[in-house]
Amino acid sequence: MLKRLKLTISLLAVLAAGPAIADENLVFVTGSPGGSWYPTGGAIKAAVEDIFDDISIQVRPGGGLANLQAVSQGIAQLGMSNNISAVDAMQGREPFTEPMTGICNVAYLYPQVIQAAVVNPEITSFEELAGHRLAVTPRGNTAEQLARLTLSTVGLSYDDLDQVNFASMSDQVNMMKDGQVDGFFQATGIPAGVIMDVGASRDLKLLPITDAMFEQMLEVNAGFSQITIPADAYANMDGPVQSVSFGTHVVAGCDVEEETIYSVTRAIHERLDDLGVAVAALRTTTPDMLSQDVGIPQHPGSARFFEEAAAN
């Protein structure tokens, strides 16, 4: 690609001493600092910019539902998403009020797992959250939507809790450490940095999602899968914990140039080992997993890359 440089007298001096301006300046909406999406976005940015000096990526915080809206409206060119919300968005199902268009898949990354952790030893199940204090992400985040859904499977709503705090992940960690809440609800990769952070100073446990709860969730969205959180995922676990997962993936605006998304996909594929070093959730991701179907259209750029990779 040709560099689109503004050859003004003042800029010439800057260009002589600094790096060239990128042809493509992409906005990449991710998640809250403290979760796995934000560092994943940073790791992908580093991989892309290291290989392609004509692409620049701005990583910004975001949320699962808000990211899809930003990409659909062209506010962002790239976004972190999950398959359950992406399918809901394209079909216009709740919590979306109408179908969203212009969203294409780039690459599957890793399973995202519901993890409800409590520091109150009296709470051993979701039912026992009644009358207690819970921290969740702000509205507009997938984790908050899933908190309401999971509670509903045991007949609870926020009204049945003593207190609900809508806060960033970093604020939730502080609330848990200070005893301001009894538990928090996360939907992120394993291991989750926020849970490890709290577990370093407080005894905590993960609440299981039973078969009966999972069946109710599956009726709402067929994209859910059962998963077992291994006993060695976090320190001092009593044993494995049954939970629910769904796929984390990168989306892009369908109108973003094919060659640009081809390059982004190539960088993710070629630097997958490096991404795993930066983000623990990506350590078990294989190159073949990147191309798996997530239920929404594949971007032409990533589709072309995966077709070529499969042929080689």
CATH value at residue 179: 3.40.190.10
The tokens for 194 are: 């926020």
Q: Which segments in the chain show pLDDT lower than 50? A: 1-21
Q: What sign does the CA torsion over 92, 94, 97, 102 have?
A: negative
Q: Which residue has the tokens 């990354």?
A: 109
135 & 206 share domain = yes
Q: Give the pLDDT score at 22.
A: 56
Note whether residue 266 is domain-resident. yes
Q: Give the pLDDT score at 35.
A: 78
Q: Side chain identity at 204, as an amino acid letter?
A: L
138: left (phi over 0), alpha (psi -120 to 50) or beta: beta
Q: What sign does the CA torsion over 192, 196, 197, 198 have?
A: positive
CA–CA separation, 13 vs 22, rounded Å?
17
Task: List C-alpha distances in Å: 180 to 113, 119, 148.
Answer: 24, 10, 20
127 & 238 share domain = yes
pTM given for the model: 0.75
Q: Are 159 and 131 in contact (CB under 8 A)?
A: no
270 & 177 share domain = no
Note whether residue 7 is domain-resident. no
127 & 228 share domain = yes
Of the candidates 246, 278, 293, which is a domain's last residue?
Answer: 246
Of the candidates 246, 279, 299, which is a domain's last residue?
Answer: 246
169 & 223 share domain = yes
CA–CA separation, 103 vs 115, rounded Å?
28
Q: Give the pLDDT score at 233.
A: 93
User: Is it true that the peptide bond before 191 is cis, omega within 30 degrees of 0?
Assistant: yes
Note whether residue 15 is domain-resident. no
Say how many domains are in the chain. 2
Q: Which domain holds residue 148?
A: 113-246
Q: Are 170 and 141 in contact (CB under 8 A)?
A: no
Note whether residue 54 is domain-resident. yes
300 & 223 share domain = no
Q: Are 115 and 187 in contact (CB under 8 A)?
A: yes
Q: Which residue has the tokens 């790791």?
A: 43
Q: Are 257 and 265 in contact (CB under 8 A)?
A: no
Q: Give the pLDDT score at 80.
A: 97
139 & 104 share domain = no
Mean predicted lDDT score pLDDT of the chain: 90
Q: Give the pLDDT score at 2.
A: 35
213 & 189 share domain = yes
Length of the chain: 312
